[in-house]
Amino acid sequence: MQRRTGVTAVGPSALRGQGAGVLKATQNYLGSIELSNIPATNQEEYNKWLDAHTETILSILPIRNKPWGAARKALNLFMRDVLYNRYLCDHFGIRKFEKWMELPLDSAVAKGLKKLAGRRRLPPWPGLKRLKEDTSQIYQSFATEYSRTRGISRVHLDIYLWTENR
């Protein structure tokens, strides 16, 4: 079920244009992550876990230019879908990480966040291939701030923002 979730969460459109072999390598890796080893202590530990898996995805990609943004998006899409899968969520106790999960970023979601933020509050969207950790963090911080006003975790903003802005 985890392997299937990795394939369905990160389909061809999610990593379009990232390079030959990126999609399959990423999907295979997501299907093999040990979900029972996610640290449950705090946001910082969860972020370190995300960072480590983002770097591992980058290390296995069969391309020269390693797109940090694409790797992080894939990991966040996967974790969101693991949260939404009743069986995986219950088996691995994923619900406790919901409050720390990141919003999967792409151009549609960034467009929606920029609309919500207003003029010049967020930096220009660099595109998934050029997205770096510092710019991602600015977008994630705003997503956290905004999601709190809606009474939801930021990971769920994807449902609205992606649908409305694609």
Nearest to 2 by CA among 40, 50, 34, 46: 34
Burial of 88 (0-12, 13-18, 19+ CB in 10 A): middle
Q: Based on the domain organization, do 79 and 131 belong to the same domain?
A: no
Are 115 and 59 part of one and the same domain?
no
Instruction: Give me the half-sphere count of Cα atoms (radius 13 Å) on the Cβ side of residue 5.
Output: 22
Q: What is the domain count for the chain? A: 2
31-83 pLDDT, tens digit each: 999 999 999 889 999 999 999 999 999 999 999 999 999 999 999 999 999 99
pLDDT at 5 (0 to 100): 97
**Among residues of the chain, what percentage have pLDDT more than 90?**
92
Instruction: Examine the domain organization and report whether 7 and 73 are in the same domain.
Output: yes
* Residues 7, 89 within the same domain: yes
Query: Residue 135 belongs to what domain range?
Result: 107-165
What is the reported pTM?
A: 0.96
